[in-house]
Structure 1
Amino acid sequence: MSELTSEERRMVTEWAEGLRCPLGDRALGLLGAYLAELWEWNRRMNLTGLRSREEVVRELLLDSLMAGSILPAGGSLLDIGSGAGFPAIPIKICQPAVMVHLLEANARRVSFLRHVIRVMRLEGIEVFRGRAGEDWSKRSAGGYSCVTARAVAPPPQALRLGAPYLAPSGRMLLFAGEDLTAVVNSIDPQLQIFSIRLEQVLPYRLPRKPTLRHLLVLAKRDADDPVREGH
C-alpha cells in the first residue's frame, strides 16, 4: 500500500488532531493509497485541476477531514457531484461505519471512483452515475442522515439539489469562502422552502492559506421542530 510522504503525514496528522479526530495507521495508510491512485489517474485525466500532491492534501483532503469531524460515527451520506471523491472517500476512510453513496455525472470520474473503491477494498460505499434532481433514481430521496455537495454548484443551488435527499433531522454540509454574510443571505430563501435551519458555522483556515473559510451545518427540521418567524 502506498504511503503518505512524511510531510503529508505530518500535515494530515496535525490537522486531524486539531479537530480532535486522531487518525490511526490504517486510516493514514488508506489515505496514502487513495492519493497515490488519484495522482496516477490525474496524469491521464484532469481530476482535480491542482498541480501537486501537496496542494491536493491541503486544499481537498484537509477540507474533507473538516467535514468528517462533525459527522456521527454511523448513519448514511450522499455526496453529490463527487468528482475525484472529496469529501466522501476520506470521510469513509476515517469513519468506516458510515454508509456512503457518491453521485457523479462524468463517466471517467465514475470509473476512477469505482476503481479506487475496488482496489482499496472499501465496503459500504457505492458510486452512482447521474445528477441530483434530474436523471438519478428518487428511491433515496428523503433518506440520508447527511448530504454533501462540495464543489458541484454555488451554495443556493447545492442546497436546492441536496435538500430533498435529507432524512428528518438530517444535516447538509456546505463549504463556503470568506464572505459568510453573502452566502447566508443567498441560501436564506432555500432554507425557508425546505424547512432547514442554519445550525452551526465553523470558521477555519487551511495551513499556509490566509483566507478564512467556513463550513455551514444545515439541519432539516423534523415535525416537532417549531419554525420561528424569520428563521
Structure 2
Amino acid sequence: MHEKPSRESMRRILASCGIELSAERLALFWRFYELLARHTRALDLSRLTRFDDIVVKHFADSALVPALCTLPRPLLDIGTGAGFPGIPLKIMLPDLELVLAEPRHARVEFLELAVKELSFEGVQIYPHLVSAHSPLEARGVITRALEGADETLARVNHILPAGGRVILMKGPSADEDLGELGPQSAAHFALVDDREYTIPSTTYRRRLLVFEKTSSYRKLTYRIFTRQENTATVITSADNRRFKELKKMAGGGPVKKTGAVLVSGKKLVLETATRFPERAETLVTYDGYAETDAGMNALVAAFAGNDALVILKKALFNELDSFDTNAPLLALRVTEPPEWDGALFDGCTLLVPFQDPANVGAVIRSAAAFGAGGIVMLREAAHPFHPRSIRASGGAVLAAPLYRGPSLGELPALCARHRDSFYALDMRGEPIGAAAFPERFILLPGVEGPGIPRDLPARRVAIPMSGAVESLNAAVAASIALYAWKAAHTRRF
C-alpha cells in the first residue's frame, strides 16, 4: 500500500530511512516535493511519479550521503536533472556551496524556480553539458547514475585540484565500473572509499564510490560569456577602443603614446608578470584558450580578480599575437629611457645603432648578461620596447640600464671627447684580443650593412674569423666583443 502525499507521511518515511529532520528542513523537502509534483509531467523531470518512490529513491537516497562521506566544497553536481542529489544535500547542509549542472533547458528552468522558491544561497546553476573543456572549478564532484565511472572521471579531471574528490552514487553492480577504469583514470585518481549499503527499511541496494584526485593536472578553458563574464572585459569587435590600443602596442607603436608594450610567449609572460607586478596592466587571452599549466591558470585568475583580464574573439587575438604563441599576452606599463648625458659608465658603455628590433633585443640581452654599465640607444636604432626586441631579449630590455643617446652624425664629437676610450667594431681593425679595454670605455658595433662610419676617429677592433664567411651578424659580433671584454676584465681582476 502506497502512502498518500502529506508532510507527516514524508517525515515518517524519511525517519524510517534513518533521516530525522527538523521542522525547517521538513518544510523545505515538502515544498520541493510540491514543486516536483506540479511540474514533473510538463517538464519531464523524473520517471518516478508515486509519492513514496520519490521520497525514498530521490529524497532519502540523496539525503543519506552526508552520513556516508564528507562532501567537499564547492561541490559540483553534474547531470543533476531535477536537482538530485544536489537539492536534498543543500537542504541537509545549508552552508554547502553547490553548483547544479544540467544542460536541458526545461530542467534548468525548474532548477532556477526551485532555488528561488527554497530561498537557497550559495547555489549556482550551470546550464550546459559538463565536458572536458567546461570552465568550472570545484573541490568535489557528485553524480548519480549518470554514466560509467571512467567517463565521469575523464569528464571532470580538469575541474578538480589535487586532493579533490569524485563521489559516484551507484547501484549494486558497480563492479563493472571499477573493471572498466582506463589508464588515464588510474593515472589521476585513486579509489579511497567503496561502500555498499541498503537504504534502511527498504530493499533498495546502493553503492557509494569515492575517488580522490592524486595528480595536479588542471585544464581550464576560458570562454566568452561563461565563467569569466563578470570578471573579464570581453571584446568581439575590431572597432573597440581598447582593442585598437592593444593593436598599437602589438605593432610597436610609440611608447610615449601607448605607455605600455605587449609581452608575448608563455614563459616570458609568466616571468614578467611575476617580476614586475606593479607594471603588469592587462592580461589578454582569447575565447577557447585552454591551459593546463598551474602557474598560468593562477595568473589568469589573479588578473580576473583585479578586473584586468581581457578575452578576445580568436580572430582579433590573432591580430595581436605576432609570434603565433597562442598563449596570453601581457600589457606592461613602460616609460621611455632617460636621456644620456654623455658620461661613461663603469665598465662598458654600449652604443646600440641597430635598426632591426631583433638585433636590438639580442644585443641588450648580451649586454645585460656580461654586465655592461649602460646601454645607449642611438636615434637611428629600433626601439628597445618593440615587441620583437622584447622577445629577442628574453625580457632583458625591461630591466636593462637603457638610455636615449645621440645620432650617428653626432658621434665624431663624442669620439673626440672620449678619444682614448672609444672603441668601434670594424672588420679592418686590430684583433680584439690585443685590446686593453680601460676601466670605462665606449663600444660601438657597426650598423647592419654599412658598418662603422668611415670618418669616425675611434680605435677600431675586429673579431678574427676563418674567412669561411664574409661577416657576422651585427648582434652576434657585438656579443662576442662584450664577452672578450668581460673575459679580459675577469682575468685582470
TM-score, normalised via structure 2 length: 0.40
- Checking the alignment, whether the CA contact within 8 Å between 2:132 and 2:156 is kept in structure 1 is no
| Selected match of 1:184 from 156, 175, 178 | 178
Residue segments in structure 2 that go unaligned for 5+ positions in a row: 217-493
**Equivalence for 2:11:** 9
Distance 2:184 2:52 in 1: 36
- SS of the aligned residue for 1:69 comes to helix
Q: Where do 1:205-224 residues align within 5 Å?
A: 205-207=198-200, 209-210=202-203, 212-221=205-214
**Equivalence for 1:227:** none
Deviation at 1:70, TM superposition (A): 4.0
Distance 1:4 1:16 in 2: 19
- Checking the alignment, whether the CA contact within 8 Å between 1:4 and 1:28 is kept in structure 2 is no
Summarize the Cα distance change of 1:149–1:74 in structure 2 as closer, same or farther, 3 Å threshold: closer
- SS of the aligned residue for 1:43 comes to helix
Residue by residue over 1:25-75, the C-alpha shift from the partner in whole angstroms, topping out at 9 and shown as x without a partner, is: 211211111111011101322211112121111111112112233454772
Summarize the Cα distance change of 1:151–1:177 in structure 2 as closer, same or farther, 3 Å threshold: closer
| Selected match of 2:124 from 123, 126, 139 | 126
Q: Where do 1:84-163 residues align within 5 Å?
A: 84-133=82-131, 136=134, 138=135, 140=136, 143-163=137-157
**Equivalence for 2:40:** 42
Equivalent pairs, count: 212
Residue by residue over 1:177-218, the C-alpha shift from the partner in whole angstroms, topping out at 9 and shown as x without a partner, is: 22232221123534314x211111121113564353201111
- Checking the alignment, whether the CA contact within 8 Å between 2:74 and 2:138 is kept in structure 1 is yes
- Checking the alignment, whether the CA contact within 8 Å between 1:148 and 1:162 is kept in structure 2 is no
Summarize the Cα distance change of 1:72–1:208 in structure 2 as closer, same or farther, 3 Å threshold: closer
- Checking the alignment, whether the CA contact within 8 Å between 1:30 and 1:93 is kept in structure 2 is yes
- When the two chains are superposed, the root-mean-square deviation of aligned CA atoms in Å is 2.3
Deviation at 1:159, TM superposition (A): 2.3
**Equivalence for 1:229:** none
Deviation at 1:167, TM superposition (A): 2.5
**Letter paired with 1:9:** R
Residue by residue over 1:54-108, the C-alpha shift from the partner in whole angstroms, topping out at 9 and shown as x without a partner, is: 1111111112112233454772110111101000011111111111011111000
Summarize the Cα distance change of 1:206–1:76 in structure 2 as closer, same or farther, 3 Å threshold: same
| Selected match of 1:76 from 74, 77, 91 | 74
Distance 1:186 1:135 in 2: 23
Summarize the Cα distance change of 1:186–1:134 in structure 2 as closer, same or farther, 3 Å threshold: closer
Summarize the Cα distance change of 1:198–1:135 in structure 2 as closer, same or farther, 3 Å threshold: closer
- Checking the alignment, whether the CA contact within 8 Å between 1:177 and 1:213 is kept in structure 2 is yes
- SS of the aligned residue for 1:167 comes to coil
Q: Percent identity?
A: 25
Decide which structure has the larger Cα Rg and report it: 2
**Letter paired with 1:198:** L
**Which deviates the most, 54-63 or 100-109?**
54-63
**Letter paired with 1:55:** D
- Checking the alignment, whether the CA contact within 8 Å between 2:142 and 2:166 is kept in structure 1 is yes
- SS of the aligned residue for 2:144 comes to coil
- SS of the aligned residue for 1:164 comes to coil
Residue by residue over 1:144-193, the C-alpha shift from the partner in whole angstroms, topping out at 9 and shown as x without a partner, is: 12101213323322222223222321111112222232221123534314
Q: Where do 1:17-32 residues align within 5 Å?
A: 17=19, 22-32=20-30
**Letter paired with 2:149:** P
Distance 1:153 1:176 in 2: 10
Displaced runs of 4 or more, over 6 A: none
In the alignment, structure 1 residue 57 sits paired with structure 2 residue 59: no
**Letter paired with 1:82:** T
- SS of the aligned residue for 2:77 comes to strand
Distance 2:104 2:15 in 1: 32
- Checking the alignment, whether the CA contact within 8 Å between 1:75 and 1:97 is kept in structure 2 is no
